[in-house]
Amino acid sequence: MTDPVREAALPVAEAEPRRRSARAIAAASAGTFIEWYEYGLYAFVAGLVIAPLFFAQAGSLAVLATFVTFAVGFVVRPIGGIVLGAAGDRWGRRPVLIFSILLMGLATTGIGLLPTYAAIGVWAPILLVVLRMLQGFGAGAELAAAMIFVSESTGKKGKGFSGALMNIGSMLGSVLAVVFFTVLSSELAPEAFKQWGWRIPFLFGAVLTVAGLVLRRKLAESPEFERVAREQRAGRLRRGRANPLAALAQSFRASPRNFFAGFLLPSGLNVTGFVAQAFGMSYLSSQIGLTSTQTLVTTLTMMGVGLFALLFWGWLCDRIGAVRVLYVGALVGIPLAFAYFALLRTGNLALIITASVVLWAVGWAAGLSAQVVLLPALFRTEYRGSGMTSSRELQGGLIAGPAPLIASALLLAAGGTPWLVALYIAAAQVLTVAGMLLARPVLSRREITEISALRGVRPAAD
């Protein structure tokens, strides 16, 4: 006999027309585009602009201080994830998606208007930290909420590719940030770029935010959440907790095992991504001696190829299962971390670009494509927002966010050699494998069989 509550919580939307699914992907992509455009801006200019303009008083530790502010955004992300994740379970995915994009847009525009240390002294880094905290709070729910929304609004057969399309938004946002800075840094005189040119991409974030709000304003709620809301109104399911801490506790008690799995799964891709993106740019310019333009071109090429890698891995998730894709990315990503730094140390631009592209396309892109499928399946719809967002963002605050800072500290500790950083990436990929071994999706064997991207996962009943 079919359990109506169970049916209401199925993480699929079989009857959803393709048009509605396409709108869901487009609206979710718009937010992830803006999130990673805005976060990417800071990562790309951290060592090039932010350090000398806002932390000049720190001397040789300016870059390290800059990565501290980068990490601050991730420290606040779990708070945003806990608060907004609970709000998504109680009031719906749509309000959270609108609020998060608005908050991130305001913070990014604020950074573009912020006076430097030379103008207002110590208030410059203080205000920078405050704006980074606001960015982090909004971003704490953005990507996870978008992943949930797409998962709940698309069909059984194409979840991997649909997730990849959503992730293309985040990649395009980062690519746009690199292109903006590559063009500006090459076309403007160095002094003009340092004085005012770097602000233009941050201010452009306001335009992107308005466009994203227009897209999301007309967005319908996810079909799966609507079904659960009907069950809640009928008294067959308990409504989500308004207290964020109570909601967090509820999602943890429902499955501590899956909560820890949700924490561990993104470790490898996040550390790999932020080391290659944020720390890598600083390392290439300060240790290897590449020019700013060469460094930006390397990053742009790496991320451009990553667009196609995401689509490939998303397609492969639907063919062989996201579990196998995750294992490939994590296990192959371990030796690639050491090969990456070995090739960077040659100083040969072609080898540097090749190493960056391969590490990004495998060690990062495979994991990102797989987690979009796997993470939502760890939590039931009625507490998915709180459980997935808080576990994922706690990981971001404790592991992903400090990655460039930890990598910089490891580089200093090793006297300028990068092998401890490579070991750090490898350890993060091991955490991802441990998370997958721990995970037990809250689905039946029948549901797992019907969702092609979930082939090979072990259900909670095992």
Q: With 80 as the cut, is the pLDDT of residue 66 above it?
A: no
Q: What percent of the chain has pLDDT over 90?
A: 30
pLDDT band at residue 271 using 50, 70 and 90 as cut-offs: very high
Using a 10 angstrom Cβ sphere, with 0-12 exposed, 13-18 middle and 19 or more buried, the burial of residue 459 is middle
Q: Provide the token pair at 166.
A: 């959503």
> What is the pLDDT at residue 47?
64
Query: What average pLDDT does the segment 97-126 reach?
Result: 88
**Where in the sequence is the domain holding 285, given as residue range(s)?**
4-454
Q: Considering the domain boundaries, does residue 225 fall inside one?
A: yes
pLDDT in tens, 321-349: 999 999 999 999 999 999 999 999 998 99
How far from 462 is each of 183, 385, 442, 443, 444, CA to CA, in Å?
54, 24, 11, 11, 10
Query: What average pLDDT does the segment 190-194 reach?
Result: 82
> What is the pLDDT at residue 357?
96
pLDDT in tens, 448-458: 888 888 888 87
pLDDT in tens, 396-423: 878 887 888 899 899 989 888 899 999 9
> What is the pLDDT at residue 285?
82
Query: What average pLDDT does the segment 228-250 reach?
Result: 87
Q: Considering the domain boundaries, does residue 462 fall inside one?
A: no
Answer yes or no: are the C-beta atoms of 70 and 404 closer than 8 Å: yes
> What is the pLDDT at residue 63?
67
pLDDT band at residue 44 using 50, 70 and 90 as cut-offs: low
Query: What average pLDDT does the segment 144-153 reach?
Result: 86
pLDDT greater at residue 316 or residue 176: 316
> What is the pLDDT at residue 352?
94
Answer yes or no: are the C-beta atoms of 306 and 362 closer than 8 Å: no
pLDDT band at residue 59 using 50, 70 and 90 as cut-offs: low
> What's the chain's average pLDDT?
85
Q: Considering the domain boundaries, does residue 77 fall inside one?
A: yes
208-217, 268-277, 429-438: the lowest-pLDDT one: 208-217
Answer yes or no: are the C-beta atoms of 257 and 440 closer than 8 Å: yes
Q: With 50 as the cut, is the pLDDT of residue 15 above it?
A: no
> What is the pLDDT at residue 334?
96
Q: Considering the domain boundaries, does residue 30 fall inside one?
A: yes
Q: Considering the domain boundaries, does residue 461 fall inside one?
A: no
pLDDT greater at residue 216 or residue 312: 312
Q: With 70 as the cut, is the pLDDT of residue 42 above it?
A: yes
Q: Among the residues of 218-291, which ranges form H helices?
A: 223-233, 244-254, 256-264, 267-274, 280-283
Q: With 80 as the cut, is the pLDDT of residue 1 above it?
A: no
When divided into structural domains, the chain yields a total of 1
Instruction: Give every CB contact of residue 135 below 8 A, 6+ residues apart in sequence.
Output: 38, 39, 42, 73, 103, 104, 107, 108
Which CATH number characterizes residue 86's domain? 1.20.1250.20
Q: With 80 as the cut, is the pLDDT of residue 43 above it?
A: no
> What is the pLDDT at residue 8?
43
Shortest CA distance to 342 belongs to which of 286, 424, 418, 289?
418
Cβ count within 10 A of residue 233: 10
Task: Give the distance from CA 397 to its chain's centroid.
Answer: 12
pLDDT band at residue 282 using 50, 70 and 90 as cut-offs: confident
104-118, 280-294, 386-400: the lowest-pLDDT one: 280-294
Q: Considering the domain boundaries, does residue 459 fall inside one?
A: no
> What is the pLDDT at residue 293?
77
pLDDT greater at residue 170 or residue 247: 247
